[in-house]
Structures are given as C-alpha cells and as structure tokens.
Amino acid sequence: MNLGPHADFIIASYAVTALVVAGLIAWIATDYSAQKRLLADLEQRGVTRRSRRGGGDTP
Amino acid sequence: MAVIDLANPTRFLTLVDRVLPWLAGVTALVFAYGLYRVLGAPDDYQQGATVKIMFLHVPAAWLGMMGWGVMTVAALGTLVWRHPLADVAGKTAAPIGAAFTFICLVTGSLWGRPTWGTYWVWDARLTSVLVLFLLYLGMLALYWAAEDPNRSARAAAILALVGAVNIPIIKFSVEWWNTLHQPASIMRAGGAAIDASILIPLLIMALAFTLLFFTLHFAAMRNEILRRRVRSMRIMQARSA
Amino acid sequence: MSPFLALLARDMRLAVRVGGGALMGALFYFIVVAMMPFAIGPDLNLLARIGPAILWLGALLASLLALDRLFATDHDDGSLDLLMMGAMPLELAVAAKAIAHWLTTAVPLIVITPVLGLMLNIDMSAMGWVALTLLAGTPALTFIGLIGAALAVALRRGGLLLAVLVLPLTIPVLIFGVAAANAAIVGPAPFGPPFTILCALSLASLVLGPVAAAAALRQGLE
C-alpha cells in the first residue's frame, strides 16, 4: 500500500493514538490489580466493610 | 435487573465483571474491521493519503466532546440525586476524555503539517478543541488538588456544568474570532460532501472509538469503586486501632 | 438598609481599609502593563497595534488574581457561615460580594486605563472606547471568577488552581473585549456587534456566576 509523500505523518498519528490508548489501558489494568491487591491485603488483616458485617453494627 | 439496581455499587461491580470481557471483545472486533476498511478506503483527490488521519482525528474529537457530555450527566446525578455512582462516573470520565482530546489535537497537528505546511494553525475547530483540552486539564487539576473525594466530586460537578454551559459559547466565540482573522480553512469539508467510500469507514471507526471509550470508562469506574472501598476500609481500620 | 446593600457596604469598607486589597488590583494592572514594553520593545507603532490586547490581558489577570481571597477571609473568620445561614438567599449575598469586589478592584483599574493607553500610544480619542469595553467586560470576568473563588474555598485551595479553572472560561470575554477595543481604535470592523456580545456575556455571567458560586459554597461547606 502506498501512503504517498506524507507517510511519516500518517504513521506518526496512528502511532501516537496507539500509544495513548495503550497508556490508558496499561494505567487502568495496573490500577485494577493494585486495588485488588490492597483489598485482599486489608481483608486478610481482618478489616471488613460495614455492609459485610450485617445490619446490627452501626458506627 | 432493573436500572435502579445499578445504584448499588456492588451490583454495578458484578455487572461490570460480567459485561467487560464481552465489551472489550466487541471493541477489538469493530476496531479490526474498521482498520481493515480504512486500509481499503480510497485516497482523497486533494489531500492524498493524509486523509487517513481523519479516521482517527474525527472520532477522537467526537469522544473528547462526548466525555464532557458524560461528565455533565454525571454532574446532574451528583448534584440532583446525590448518586454515589455518578461521582465515580464523572471522575473517571475526565482523564479518558482528556486523553481522546489530546489524541485529537496531536493528529490534527500532524494532519495540518502536510495540509497547511505548519504543525499548528489557529483554525477555529482546532482552537476550540484546544480550549476543551484546557478545560479538561482544569478539571484534572481540581481532582488533583482535593483530598476528600466527596468534596471534590461536588466541586467537579459544578465545574462540569459551568463548562457545559460555556463550551458552546466558547465554540461560537472562537469561530467568530477566526473569521475575523483568517479565511475559512481547508479542513472545513461539508458533512454531506464526504463520499460513502470514506464516510462508512469513518462511521465504523467512530463506533469502535465509542465502544473503546465505554470499555475504558467501565473499567476505570470499577477501579474507582475499589479505590473508595480501600479508602473506607483504611479509615475503619484506623478508627478501630 | 436592605441586607444586600449592607453587605455591599461592609465589603467595600473592608476593601478600602488597611489590609484590604482595593487598590492592589489597579496597582498590579499598572505594573503588568508597564512591564510589557520591556518584553516587546519600545516600538510605538507595534505597541499601538497590540495595546488593547495588553490592556485586556492585564485587566484579566488583575481581576482574577484579586479574586483569590474573596471568600477565603470570610471563611476563616466564620462570617461566611453566617451568610449561609442568614435569611438572604446565598445567591444574592454572593452577588453583593462580587459587586463590591468589582467596584473596588475593577473600577480603579478602568479609571487608570486612559493613562496607560497614553503610554501605549493609543489614540486619545479612542481611549474612551477602550475604557468602555473594559467597563462592559470586567463584570463578566468578576462573575466568572466568582465561581472559581467559590470552588477554591470549597476545596480549601487557592492561588493558581483558581486561575487554571477560570481562565479557559474567560476566553470569550477576552475575544470580544479585544475585538471591540480594536474596532474602536483601528476599525474597519464595526464596534457594535462585538460590544453588544460583550455586554451579553456580562449579563449572562451576572446570572450564572452567583448561582454556580452559591451552589459550590453550599455543596462544599455543608
């Protein structure tokens, strides 16, 4: 396929878009695993959320 | 499941867990087909192959605006119904919308270099997108400056509504300012003048980008709900300690 | 005296007292405009051409930077809580504060504008028109900035955050203000359209500003 005399600009725009989207995906994915790990860590240490303890316990 | 059940963050989380893989899969498929159609699209007789940049630039611009629309709806949810999920939706839409606005600016600039001979022209559309980007940066700065998520959610909601009122005014004034200073730009191709061989791939790409936005948005909302859970659990832990 | 006028008078008295910022905005404006030729060079023709832009940018920065403490001092000493609990709608109270701020900050700035115009080689006959555009446009700057000031105090942050939030929203005011001023000085575009749009922006922000600022205060400080 021939991209003409301005192939650099076309490739650069597709590359920038791919990079930004990949950055977003990477940020969201690492954030997800980090939050999951923190939650698991807290639950392991015996901290539970109010809603899990049933209605009787009001702070 | 009724829509009202989604008010409960836990229900929302289970729904996201179930829907997200499918949504991501459909997004990838639509993207693959869209890119295939883009490869097959003919060159523009005036701009040559650089018209391929349009298939990224226009959907990114659309999503940049839609991102602020999502934030506006979420802001109404925050202020009128005090909906906890609305805060989460508004907060997570901001960085994603900003990222797409950034893509629109960069691709516009890369498109401008072969078309206008320079990377940046104070063209009305490009300038409006730049102002939208500045508004997004202000919104991110607001979230960045605030410690308490409840407080920042309401402040951000008000800013989102003020921005929503202002964006049309800004767009109008930038266009007026532009006609004052320079003639209409080359990029101003009328909607109806686009040939179907270009329009259909463009619409497919727009759909793919929209699906991508919602995939990312749902995933980011899930992260934010988990983050708030971690936060409240830490506070409880500190209280009981 | 109605509570609205009482609050207006109180804020104006506070502004002109020792420690108040009444003339500080005008002083800042004077210094910013006086510094421009050092950056641009003393070419009088160039200065005359971009003079209105310099004056408008100076006015924009001066009115925004002065807004920083609009609610902060009242929040610190508790009088903001009294205003929020008072019988007067918070929107009106906020508007009274903004008008007092405009009278003590923007009006001195407009008064010294002809002198600065002289230094920028702007034609004396056109100077009145430039001052008129500032008179019509600075209320919009104050009332848009009011939203930022309310958000800043609700978030307990200030300074640059206010400018970052508010400056993009003031772009239309800047565009039409400078366009009207340029039309008055050099033409050839008519003065009427940009000037009337500028007035419309001021009137619209007169409504939007207090409503949004009051909402921000209520949401942020409850």
Which of C147, C155, C168 lies nearest to residue B151, judging by beta carbons?
Answer: C155
Rounded to a whole number of angstroms, the distance from the CA of C101 to the nearest CA of chain B is: 21
A9-38 residues touching B, CB cutoff 8 A? 9-10, 12-14, 16-17, 20-21, 23-25, 28-29, 31-32, 35-36, 38
Q: Is B166 on the interface with C (CB under 8 A)?
A: yes
Cβ contact B135:B106 at 8 Å: no
Do B154 and C176 lie within an 8 Å CB cutoff? no
Rounded to a whole number of angstroms, the distance from the CA of B180 to the nearest CA of chain A is: 30
Do C212 and B174 lie within an 8 Å CB cutoff? no
First to last CA, chain A: 67
Q: Band of the pLDDT at A48, cuts 50, 70, 90?
A: low
C188: preceding bond cis by omega (within 30 degrees)? yes
For tokens 């009137």, the residue is: C203
Q: Cite the DSSP H helix spans in chain B.
A: 9-40, 54-81, 84-116, 124-145, 149-181, 196-240
For residue C1, what pLDDT is reported? 62
| Size of chain A in residues | 59
Q: Is A54 on the interface with B (CB under 8 A)?
A: no
| Interacting residues of C57 by C-beta distance below 8 A, sequence separation 6+ | C32, C174
Q: CA distances (Å), C78 to each of B10, C72, C177, in order?
A: 40, 10, 37
Taking all residues of chain A, what is their mean pLDDT, rounded to a whole number? 77
Percentage of chain C surpassing pLDDT 70?
95
- The pTM of this model reads 0.86
Tally A–B CB contacts below 8 A: 97
Taking only the tens place, the pLDDT of each residue in B111-147 is 888 777 778 877 777 888 898 999 999 999 888 887 7
For residue A49, what pLDDT is reported? 62
The residue of B127, B130, B139, B169 whose CB has the most chain C CBs within 10 angstroms, and thus the best one to mutate to test that interface, is B169
- Boundaries of every domain in chain B: 21-183
Query: If interface means Cβ-Cβ distance under 8 Å, which residues of chain B face chain A?
Result: 10, 39, 43, 48-50, 52-53, 56-57, 60, 95-96, 99, 102-103, 106-107, 110-111, 113-114, 212, 216, 219-220, 222-223, 226-227, 229-230, 232-234, 236-237, 239
SS3 letters for B25-53? Answer: HHHHHHHHHHHHHHHHCCCECCCEHHHHH
Taking all residues of chain B, what is their mean pLDDT, rounded to a whole number? 82
SS3 B125: helix
Nearest CA in chain B to A51: B10
**φ/ψ bin of C159: left (φ > 0), alpha (ψ from -120 to 50), beta (otherwise):** left
CA distance C130 to B145: 37
ipTM for the predicted complex: 0.83
β-strand partners of C109: none
Which of A4, A12, A28 lies nearest to residue B223, judging by beta carbons?
Answer: A28
Tens-level pLDDT at each residue, chain B (241 residues)? 445 555 677 888 888 888 888 989 998 899 888 888 887 777 766 667 777 888 888 889 889 989 999 999 999 988 888 887 888 888 899 999 999 999 999 988 888 887 777 788 777 778 888 989 999 999 998 888 877 777 788 888 889 998 888 888 888 888 778 776 654 444 444 444 667 777 888 888 889 999 999 999 999 998 988 888 888 888 888 877 6
CA distance C153 to B44: 53
Taking only the tens place, the pLDDT of each residue in C37-70 is 888 888 888 888 888 888 888 988 888 877 877 8
Which of B103, B111, B234 lies nearest to residue A17, judging by beta carbons?
Answer: B103
Q: Cβ contacts (< 8 Å) between B163 and chain C: which residues?
A: 169
CA distance C151 to B151: 10
More confident residue, B43 or C97: C97
Q: Band of the pLDDT at C132, cuts 50, 70, 90?
A: confident
| Interacting residues of C111 by C-beta distance below 8 A, sequence separation 6+ | C26
For residue A11, what pLDDT is reported? 85
Residue A12 pLDDT > 60: yes
Rounded to a whole number of angstroms, the distance from the CA of C17 to the nearest CA of chain B is: 32
Rounded to a whole number of angstroms, the distance from the CA of A56 to the nearest CA of chain B is: 16
Which of C171, C179, C212 lies nearest to residue B180, judging by beta carbons?
Answer: C179
For residue B47, what pLDDT is reported? 67
